[in-house]
Amino acid sequence: MRRSKKYSRPVRPLNIEAAMGGVHHERGRDGTDYKVHHISAGSKQYVCPGCNGIILVGEAHEVVWTEDTIWGAQYGIDSRRHWHTSCWKHRGR
């Protein structure tokens, strides 16, 4: 009986974004580093800081925060904001 060659197959590269739970990093125009997490369907209603519009329950959007604050990383996490995807992409224009 032949042995399986599953260990000789090429290794698939690690998807860093998936390993981090879908969180990726973006740098703002002011040089601030942001962590951005895409939510495919929110379970609550939020107000977008970009347009002051309502993000409806079930609507896809971005959750954004920075850990680079003078009060520490936890403050940045606690201060995260929910943005419409288009508002986040077009911020600062």
The string of DSSP letters for 38-53 reads EESS-SS-EE-TTT--
Residue ranges of alpha helices (H) inside 1-93 are 16-19, 73-78, 85-89
pLDDT tens by residue, 11-59: 777 666 565 567 888 888 888 889 999 999 989 999 999 999 999 999 9
| pLDDT exceeds cutoff 90 at 87 | yes
pLDDT value for 93: 66
Q: Provide the b/e sequence for 52-66 (b: ≥16 CB within 10 Å).
A: eeebeeebebbbbbb
pLDDT at 9: 75
Integer angstrom CA distances of residue 58 from 27, 36, 46, 64, 88: 27, 18, 11, 18, 18
- Taking 70 as the threshold, does the pLDDT of residue 76 lie above it? yes
pLDDT range class, residue 2, cuts 50, 70, 90 = low
CA distance 50 to 63: 12
* DSSP three-state, residue 2: coil
